[in-house]
Amino acid sequence: MAEELRRTGLYDLHVAKGARMVPFAGWEMPVQYPMGVMQEHLHTRAHAGLFDVSHMGQVLVFPKDGKLETAALALESLIPANILGLAEGRQRYGLFTNDRGGILDDLMFANRGDHYLLVVNAACAEQDIAHLRKLADVEIRPVTDRGLLALQGPEAASVLARLVPDTGDMRFMDSRVFDWQGTELWISRSGYTGEDGFEISVPNDRLTAFAEELLTHPEVAPIGLGARDSLRLEAGMPLYGHDMDQAVTPAEAALDWSIQKIRRKGGERAGGFPGAERILTELADGPSVTRRGLRPESRAPIREAVTIFAGESGGEPIAQVTSGGFGPSVGGPIAMAMIDSAIPDGTILYAELRGKRLPVAVTALPFITPSYKR
């Protein structure tokens, strides 16, 4: 019997807007609207796109002794990041790792003064909450009464400031609480598109009203999972379960920047997280393979699982595409794969597509220049 799909609080709004709904990570989600994936993508790059990301897991982590330091150090035993040094009202990107140095999930964590707010991937949320509950010194409170929206694009800030005036003062990776018509909003200036934007946690009973209010502004269009994927791919952002998983380490995933010096070899709080020995060795010495960009020379997109070879003929496969498709803003196909770290950017490799090998150039990530608010 098929698993019953969950629905976010915006399901009826998606249907009313003409969305095509698809199964995604146990949820029924909009993949595109009548505008179509290409135009949704370009609209977000030029104006502002509104994404329903209510399927993501929101989790509050409280210290049992009331001391935030206790919660920070507990989380640092699972996440290789400087959580203790994160200032109140700020957010960081981090990873849950396993004993082999692989990635269990990626997440955002924010310092909320007396506790932390974590946002985790939908498909991993139950696993992540069980993982967190192994910590003895903290209380884990999954958030079940809120949805999550992402407002992304160069006009996102001006639109949101009309509804919530003080949000314009936020910097990239700020995380603060605001009031909208008596409703408490949890807002971070962050996102998954390479554009300036915000992620907004809204109580379920006000979620539709807030989304509808945003959509009254002509700059804002509803955007589905299709364009969300092409936007993040252009921005060189990995997708869990595709570009990283439990067999891929932070350095291999090109996420070494998420591990601050204080947690590395020689740092004041070096190690102390699952897989530390392998992870810290790779950070110091470099991994043998790394997530890299690929630019096909033809117009044919190369998608996930396409095999990569070093030569035009013969030889063993050297990689598989982990994410790939058409980049509307780039104007051509783009992809990512785990490539030998010794292969320099600009090297021509070959993707095998329907029995033919097509040239692809190894390219630095991201494919576009991000425009975050600094």
Query: Do residues 149 and 230 both lie within one domain?
Result: yes
**Looking at the predicted structure, is the pLDDT value of residue 120 above 70?**
yes
Residue-wise pLDDT tens digits, 139-183:
999 999 999 999 999 999 999 999 999 999 999 999 999 999 999
Dihedrals φ, ψ of 185, to 5°?
-110, 135
Q: Residue 259 in contact with residue 80, Cβ under 8 Å?
A: yes
Among the listed residues 40, 296, 29, 48, the one whose alpha carbon sits nearest the alpha carbon of residue 196: 48
Among the listed residues 273, 251, 232, 256, the one whose alpha carbon sits nearest the alpha carbon of residue 366: 232
Average pLDDT in the 61-76 region?
98
Query: Do residues 150 and 228 both lie within one domain?
Result: yes
DSSP-derived pairing of the beta strands 220-222 and 289-296:
unpaired
**Looking at the predicted structure, is the pLDDT value of residue 373 above 90?**
no
Query: Do residues 12 and 161 both lie within one domain?
Result: yes
- Give the CATH number, domain containing residue 49: 3.30.1360.120
282 annotated as ligand-binding: no
Query: Do residues 218 and 347 both lie within one domain?
Result: no
Confirm whether 79 is domain-assigned: no
Residue-wise pLDDT tens digits, 263-315:
999 999 999 999 999 999 999 999 999 999 999 998 989 999 999 999 999 99
Q: How confident is the model at residue 1 (pLDDT cuts 50, 70, 90)?
A: very low
Last residue of a domain, one of 218, 234, 250: 234
- Give the CATH number, domain containing residue 326: 2.40.30.110
Confirm whether 91 is domain-assigned: no
Residue with token string 């192994």 = 134
Structural domain span for residue 169: 6-53+145-234
**Looking at the predicted structure, is the pLDDT value of residue 372 above 90?**
no
Query: Do residues 39 and 150 both lie within one domain?
Result: yes
Query: Do residues 293 and 360 both lie within one domain?
Result: yes
Q: How confident is the model at residue 70 (pLDDT cuts 50, 70, 90)?
A: very high
Last residue of a domain, one of 166, 199, 234: 234
Query: Do residues 230 and 342 both lie within one domain?
Result: no
Among the listed residues 291, 256, 293, the one whose alpha carbon sits nearest the alpha carbon of residue 367: 293
Pairwise CA distance, residues 245 & 274, whole Å: 15
Q: Residue 122 in contact with residue 27, Cβ under 8 Å?
A: yes
Domains held by the chain: number? 2
Query: Do residues 190 and 332 both lie within one domain?
Result: no
Average pLDDT in the 11-37 region?
97
